Amino acid sequence: MARRRNFKKGNRKTFGARDDSNAQKNWTELEKENPKWEKYYKDLGVIPENEWDDFKKTCQAQLPLTFRITGSRKHAHEVLALFEEKHLPGLTNVEFEGEQIQPPKRLPWYPENLAWQLDVSKQVIRKNEQFSKVQRFLVVENAVGNISRQEAVSMIPPIVLEVESHHSVLDMCAAPGSKTAQMIEALHSSEDEPTGFVVANDADARRSHMLVHQLKRLNSANLVVVNHDAQFFPRVKTDKETNQFLKFDRILCDVPCSGDGTMRKNVNVWKDWGTASGLGLHTVQLNILKRGLNLLKKGGRLVYSTCSMNPIENEAVVAAALRQWGDKIKLVDCSDKLPGLVRSKGISNWPVIDKAFEKKEKGDEGTTESWFPPSAEEAADFHLDRCIRVYPHQQNTGGFFITVIEKVGSDSVETAKRATTEEVADEAAVDKKQKTEDGASAAPSAPVKKEKLPRDANEEPFVFLDPKHPELEKCWSFYGIDEKFDKSTCLVRNAAGEPTRVIYYTSSSLKNIIEANEDRLKLVYSGVKLFVAQRSDIECSWRIQNEALQIMKHHMNRNRVVEANVECFKMLLIESFPRFEDMEKSHIDDNFVEKMKELSAGCAFIHVDRGEDKESMFLPVWNGTKCVNLMVCKESTQELLHRLFGIEVTSKKPAAEPKKEEGDASVEQEGKSEEIAGDDAEKSADTA
């Protein structure tokens, strides 16, 4: 990888004055060498001598492209079949510049063959036609949430965490969100709506908003994103009527680390690596783990992980937690999990090397006791060999460390007292931190408000609506929403607390959490868009948003659901605003046209039965007086055309522009966006 000088945008005189030869001189190849790194890991002895050259060479090589097919969707195996049948054959026995290219391979340890690895360079992906097609396929499927491009070793922690649909889950350091996404998928893996939820936290406000962008495409009403320092994550009330606090079933502590396991994709690690980073982060990592253990319920499971190979950040942190918690926690033996994953065991002995690269002994000035390895007696009790180490050369991945911890409790009075003291001290530190933050956020002369945490100018409150609100009553009646649907969990995000443009829906369990913790949690995001306001001159001025359909289709009657055949569905994907008159002439689906003409104008739904072994389609349409429009975004349109009909589309354009009456605003027709169903689009649909 190369680095380039940063020329300011618009400084054309300076940039243009350089010829090609001078421009080339501005590129400096970063050397993937670091003698201290090499000596440290050679002396550590975690890599057998006969494997060292392979290990180092792999660390210097480009990281392969890996992706997984999201497992929470019914059509995951349909997407897998598309990849295996349409793309995989063209990627086998491929030559590039005289060299045989390895075909994609399954990650053998990932469940149901849903994760894949491409051991090819970016140059091959760009220049080879077959690999370029795969790249486009991945981009389209990723955009609609069917595929996640994720580093292979990053997929391990959520799998061994073993999230189930009823679990309360906390991801303490969630950004950028790929592991959080896996846990949300696990939550939604059963046919029934999950009763559990995921709390995704990140200490950095900007990264927490990036996290929202990554997770919104999963359309989960069982997610809340918050912004806290994980070391001082606040206790969460279960509801506002009691003083009971939540203990989580599952917690992921994927902590900040020095990241030398990422040196294949983060080339700066080579020049910046030193022992100081690991030593400095150790206390923060231990604080996060301790906080996670305090928030974990008895019988619950916590995964501690880093993308570092340094034992100071790994086994030393785990050993310190075991030392403090005694027999209330234990390490879980995962040797029978993830069959096919090549791994190494955790270690119980390591040197402590300071930033001057001098070896330190316990008790030396400037050292922290928990840096040092356990005693022989402790090592026998701790079972650090149950930790998982994955090295880059073992299966062409990044480096990773994973430990599974179970909170088992103890009948020992002494251990219980020690753990209780630890928890009390921890809660005191959290309360102190929160009071400091609240006080710092308020004006010096003003008292701190207790009812809610302060919000910045861009944040809106979470206000739940009365289920009997007149606007909601219209929706319940128009769409025939049954009594099994929890109508009390609809919310808006505006200071007035009134439904004006968007109404969101969140799960019942999260409603209690949100309402009970406005004075504790810095809420960033929760809920999926349920209803979006449309024109006011029709029977119901609200339409159901596509992202909420997987929930709502189980709770509405069939009054506004129309059956369509496969050919009609294909036509609706290809054409925008097809006229009923033209559809009748083509006889593409007479029953569909007849039923749509009987319905009043507004939001309706089509159901397409594709056969027993295939996923049926259930999607929203906008029903006009003379035409109909499938309300699917451009990315989903492209994906459906490719997956269901083998049609590749790079830019979606309608077959014909809808006619507009005088005074109608112009309608943007480049692809069919869900947001197209504003007033102007609907007027065009009615007048086309």
When mean pLDDT is compared across 130-134, 596-600, 678-682, the lowest value belongs to 678-682
pLDDT value for 419: 55
Task: Judge whether 622 and 681 are in contact, CB under 8 Å.
Answer: yes
Residue 29, classed as helix, strand or coil, is strand
Residue 547, classed as helix, strand or coil, is helix
Q: Could you give the CA distance from residue 201 to residue 179 in angstroms, rounded to a whole number?
A: 12
46-62: average pLDDT: 97
360-381: average pLDDT: 97
pLDDT value for 687: 40
Going by C-alpha positions, the residue among 595, 663, 610, 605 that lies closest to residue 640 is 610
Residue 101, classed as helix, strand or coil, is strand
Q: Could you give the CA distance from residue 643 to residue 272 in angstroms, rounded to a whole number?
A: 45
Residue predicted with more confidence, 102 or 507 = 507
568-574: average pLDDT: 96
pLDDT value for 387: 98
Which residues is 605 bridged to in the sheet?
A: 561, 620
Q: What's this model's pTM, rounded to 2 decimal places?
A: 0.87
Tell me whether residue 177 is annotated as binding: yes
Task: Label residue 93 exposed, middle or buried (CB < 10 Å: 0-12, 13-18, 19+).
Answer: exposed
Q: Could you give the CA distance from residue 489 to residue 9 in angstroms, rounded to a whole number?
A: 48
Active site residues: 307
Q: Residue 127 — very low, low, confident or very high, per pLDDT cuts 50/70/90?
A: confident
pLDDT value for 434: 62
The structural domains of the chain, ordered by start, are 64-149 (3.30.70), 152-435 (3.40.50.150), 449-552 (no CATH), 558-687 (no CATH)
Tell me whether residue 115 is annotated as binding: no
100-123: average pLDDT: 90
Say yes or no to pLDDT of 456 above 90.
Answer: no
Range picked from 71-85, 132-146, 588-602 for highest mean pLDDT: 588-602
Residue 639, classed as helix, strand or coil, is helix
Tell me whether residue 179 is annotated as binding: yes
Q: Residue 41 — very low, low, confident or very high, per pLDDT cuts 50/70/90?
A: very high
Q: Is the peptide bond before 461 cis (omega within 30 degrees of 0)?
A: no
pLDDT value for 296: 98
pLDDT per residue over 196-233, tens digit each?
Answer: 999 999 999 999 999 999 898 899 999 999 999 999 99
Q: Could you give the CA distance from residue 493 to residue 238 in angstroms, rounded to a whole number?
A: 22
Q: Residue 248 — very low, low, confident or very high, per pLDDT cuts 50/70/90?
A: very high
CA 557 to chain centre: 33
Tell me whether residue 173 is annotated as binding: yes
CA 389 to chain centre: 24
DSSP 8-state secondary structure symbol assigned to residue 261: G
pLDDT value for 661: 33
Tell me whether residue 229 is annotated as binding: yes
pLDDT per residue over 371-400, tens digit each?
Answer: 999 999 999 999 999 999 999 999 999 999
Q: Which two tokens stand for residue 534?
A: 């449309």
Which residues is 69 bridged to in the sheet?
A: 147
Determine what percent of the chain is predicted with pLDDT higher than 90. 68
pLDDT per residue over 526-538, tens digit each?
Answer: 999 999 998 778 9
pLDDT value for 686: 44
Tell me whether residue 71 is annotated as binding: no
Tell me whether residue 202 is annotated as binding: yes
Tell me whether residue 174 is annotated as binding: yes
264-281: average pLDDT: 96
